[in-house]
Amino acid sequence: MKVKVAILGCSGRMGRNLIQAAVEHESVELVGGSVRESSSFANFDLGELAGIGTIGQKTSVGLEDLSAADVLIDFTSIESTFENLNWCLQHNKPLVIGTTGFNDEQVKIIEDAGKQIPVILAPNTSVGVNLMFKLLEITAKAIGDYTDIEIFEAHHRFKKDAPSGTAVKMGQVIADTLGRDLNKCAVYGREGITGERSPETIGFSTVRAGDIVGEHTVFFADLGERIEITHKASTRMTFAFGAMRAAFWLSEADAGYYTMQDVLGL
Ligand code: NAD
């Protein structure tokens, strides 16, 4: 049986790709999508919005019309995600959160929601990126203690948060593996006379330019050699199909707080 999904934030860059992915995915059925109250796309055909032709389903304002969904998929903004999370808690609906940029306190609130509903926090829904998290863990375990670790990320000019949620997650995976506290060892940019690099730091560098979909590289650099692990996304459909996979998985899960590592069995 197909899992009924609704897309929250369906007029956004990701939202439009999510509509297309939901229509194309064999295990998923699209039952609706939400836009902001002020949106010019209110009561607009979802297929037209995604550029795939009319599908006869209209966008909604608010979530009340989306109660037929088995799972909701949120790619909106931090503030809206919490409104959506509250609705899901009130209506006992599983939620996939693709929105990024949450601080530790906000992540804790989402974790707590997992006591009541199944919820996935997935700052990156690409299968390749989640495999990269595993490769980073293996590499950090083997050589992280004596190499300089630097994380580079590049995204399109419209992205609102920096560094990307994915870059932060990469730093978190490495810090956890090495027993470091990311809040203490992260360096977000350098300028002026910075002195020599301290060995325990994990550096972050951010580029915002043009239409770059999403690129991440991690250096493990020693004197004489270095390993670079890179992931490049060339289309948002990668994230959109990953989100459908997450929604399908979540539809069968018990209440709990999950990540894409759970979805992919990594
Ligand atoms: P965007 O600004 O193009 O889209 C967000 C959309 O959400 C907008 O259309 C906005 O109007 C809508 N929105 C906001 N509040 C709403 C509400 N209450 N109800 C309905 N719609 C609402 O941004 P984007 O590039 O699509 O990214 C959205 C989020 O997803 C960002 O946090 C981004 O970093 C994240 N993202 C995650 C992944 C991933 O793999 N998890 C991939 C790409 C982007």
Residue of 7, 40, 60, 75 to mutate, ligand 1, most atoms within 8 A of C-beta: 75
Evaluate if pTM is beyond 0.85.
yes
d(CA 229, CA 132): 8
What is the chain's alpha carbon radius of gyration, rounded to the nearest angstrom?
A: 19
pLDDT at 208: 98
d(CA 51, CA 203): 40
d(CA 192, CA 208): 21
| Token pair recorded at residue 105 | 């306190």
Percent of the chain predicted with pLDDT > 90:
97
d(CA 128, CA 247): 18
Choosing from 2, 58, 91, 159, the catalytic residue is 159
Q: CATH says 3-121+236-263 is which class? A: alpha beta
DSSP 8-state symbol, 198? P
SS3 content of the chain, % helix, strand, coil (to 5): 35, 25, 40
Cβ–ligand 1 contact at 9 (below 6 Å): yes
| Token pair recorded at residue 215 | 């690129």
Cβ–ligand 1 contact at 98 (below 6 Å): yes
Q: CATH says 127-233 is which class? A: alpha beta
**Regions of the chain where pLDDT drops below 50:** none
pLDDT at 266: 86
| Chain region(s) in the chain for CATH 3.30.360.10 | 127-233
pLDDT at 1: 87
Residue 155 catalytic?
yes
Averaged confidence pLDDT in the chain = 96
| Chain region(s) in the chain for CATH 3.40.50.720 | 3-121+236-263
